[in-house]
Amino acid sequence: MNIQEIIKILTDAGIELNEAEAEVKLMIRDVCKLSPIDIILERPVDLSRLDEVAEFARRRAQTGRPIQQILGFAYFYGNKYSVNEYVLIPRDETELLVQKALQIIKANGFKTILDIGTGSGCIACSIALNSDTYVLGVDISSDALRIALENASTLNLNNKAVFRKSDVYSKINPNETFDVIISNPPYIPEGTPLQKEVEFDPKLALFTKDSEGLEFYKKIAEGAKGILKENGYLIFESGAGQAQKIKKILAQNGFCDIEIEKDLAGIERVVSARFLG
């Protein structure tokens, strides 16, 4: 078994060539214990381990399950995060959300961050790792929170990124306020057809009960008063075609300086706004 044969296992299952190559590289990196530098320098692979890589590829091809769930981890913002069927797999476009948050945090000297719908904790942990902040991540799923806690512990963030079970603001204490609220909330209207891989993500993290996918943007924006400090920021990841509607929701709830940033695909992906109080 060689690398090209392993790639063919995936392409024969309908996975596009560039995606198959990236997934095989991820599998080889993990199984053969290669560092990012090893990958960049294309150092020789231990060919004796390729049968193990091929087995992962066969499971991927047969089940359609995302390779990150099969391996049990994903890379996000330069770090490795445990993932399973209870959390969304971190995606590249969400790194733009983190970048925007860090830009705002550092420009304003912000210290307290609330991450709503934290899932694997990848957003909360990435912010805590790259800024002098305290981050509280909340989620309604106990299963997701166990993964978030594991990730924070692995990254030695026990005192910087903490987690709590809460349905949006339900378990935020009356005396708790934050400089920034950040969220990549569910934004897919229930019943929307999904790509096969996305079907393996937890439905709780994907779907809304309204027809436009705006349910959680409204809840978070409307409930921010008393929780978000004056001149604090609310930062959202947006689904395709939703950013302008989110902008209106924010304007209706006392936010100004609303900015929208596009991802590499040209989709309006990140919406940020300052809270007037």
* DSSP annotation of 190: T
pLDDT at residue 42, as a whole number: 64
- How far apart (Å, rounded) are the C-alpha atoms in residues 230 and 252? 16
The model's pLDDT over 199-216, given as tens digits with 9 standing for 90+, comes to 788 998 999 999 999 999
Block residue for tokens 């393996």: 200
The torsion region of residue 33 among left (phi > 0), alpha (psi -120 to 50) and beta comes to left
Average pLDDT over residues 118-125: 98
Instruction: Let me know: does 273 contact 253? Beta carbons within 8 Å.
Output: no
- What pLDDT, on a 0 to 100 scale, did the predictor assign at position 58? 95
Q: Nearest-5° angle of CA 230, CA 235, CA 238?
A: 150
Place of tokens 């950013």: 243
How much is the pTM? 0.92
Mode of pairing for the β-strands spanning 268-275 and 255-262? antiparallel
pLDDT digits (tens, 9 = 90+) for 54-91: 999 999 999 999 999 999 999 999 999 999 999 999 99
From CA 7, how far away is CA 123, in angstroms rounded? 31
Q: What is the mean pLDDT of residues 2-18?
A: 92
Structure tokens at 83: 């993932």
User: Which residue reads 């309604």 in tokens?
Assistant: 140
pLDDT, tens digit, 9 for 90 and up, residues 23-59: 998 898 888 787 666 666 666 677 678 889 999 999 9
Q: Distance (Å, rounded) from C-alpha 258 to C-alpha 272?
A: 6
